[in-house]
Amino acid sequence: MGERTTDPGHGDGSGPPHGWDRSGRRTVFLLDVDNTLLDNDAAKAELGRRIRDHLGAVAAERFWGVYEEVRTEATVVSYPLTLARYWEEADPTATVAIRAALADLVVEFPYADFLYPGALETVAHLCRLGRAVVLSDGDPAYQPSKIARAGIDEAVDGFVLVYGHKEEHLREITAAFPADRYVLVEDKPDNLTKVRAALAAVSPGTPFTGVLVRQGKYAAAPGAADVHGVDLVLDAFGDLRGLDLAGITGAR
């Protein structure tokens, strides 16, 4: 998705090419989106308020019931599937105007308003230390559009990967973005554990740094910072701005 194969380099012929440090090693930062770059808990709460205003409390509750049903079955959040099933099963007599307005609420939701403070500047900082790539789990239609509308797509030069479960795609990820070192930034401790193990399976010995940002409900759970795969814990994604490559990876 939006993947490019050209490397712009520094353009002036000085310094190492884009994404490489001075010792000639390439670091790729894999950045989660929900509750890492943007406050998805707050976004979902606001979307919930708007849906309730539009549909009324009872129908809105049905909508979120369908949302959870779809999430359980598809094992990933999917607003397109939720909308389709909601109309089909929960509210088949709704007018076209009501349907269209609900779809607009969901599809045009302003995720850019929910970016964490300094998120895009922090991405720009990481782009100077290595290559930043978005690695997000979500619906294959909705999630890339959400990422683009939040302005994240542009911040990572279009390098955006969206999967159902990122830890199942390390072979593709490492093929698309070869590196001497990967840094995964996440709010979900489990994902750090799983991606670390999956990387070790497809690319044994490749250094990996797991960065847990204490944002959102998963990172707030007791023991979140103690799971295998967490190397660095930060209170906020923006804290990465104050660190250089050695500060992040511990590498000299």
Q: What residues make contact with Mg ion under the rule CB under 5 A?
A: 32, 34-35, 187
Cα–Cα distances (Å) from 68 to 3, 142, 223, in that order, read: 31, 16, 26
d(CA 203, CA 246): 22
CB 22 within 8 A of CB 16: yes
What's the closest the beta carbon of residue 167 comes to Mg ion, in angstroms? 13
> Based on CB atoms, which residue is closest to Mg ion, 129 or 219?
219
> Based on CB atoms, which residue is closest to Mg ion, 86 or 114?
114
Under DSSP, the state recorded for 57 is H
* Residue nearest Mg ion, Cβ-based: 34
> Based on CB atoms, which residue is closest to Mg ion, 67 or 87?
67
Residue keyed to tokens 């979307």: 47
What's the closest the beta carbon of residue 84 comes to Mg ion, in angstroms? 25
Angle at 148 between CA 234 and CA 61, to 5 degrees: 80
What's the closest the beta carbon of residue 188 comes to Mg ion, in angstroms? 5
> Based on CB atoms, which residue is closest to Mg ion, 34 or 153?
34
> Based on CB atoms, which residue is closest to Mg ion, 34 or 139?
34
> Based on CB atoms, which residue is closest to Mg ion, 60 or 132?
132
What's the closest the beta carbon of residue 169 comes to Mg ion, in angstroms? 16
What's the closest the beta carbon of residue 35 comes to Mg ion, in angstroms? 4
Token pair for 228: 């295998």
CB 139 within 8 A of CB 78: yes
d(CA 108, CA 78): 15
d(CA 139, CA 80): 8
> Based on CB atoms, which residue is closest to Mg ion, 10 or 217?
217
d(CA 18, CA 127): 8
What's the closest the beta carbon of residue 29 comes to Mg ion, in angstroms? 15
What's the closest the beta carbon of residue 33 comes to Mg ion, in angstroms? 7
Which ranges in the chain belong to alpha helices (H)? 40-55, 57-74, 79-85, 96-107, 119-129, 142-149, 152-155, 170-176, 189-202, 216-220, 245-249
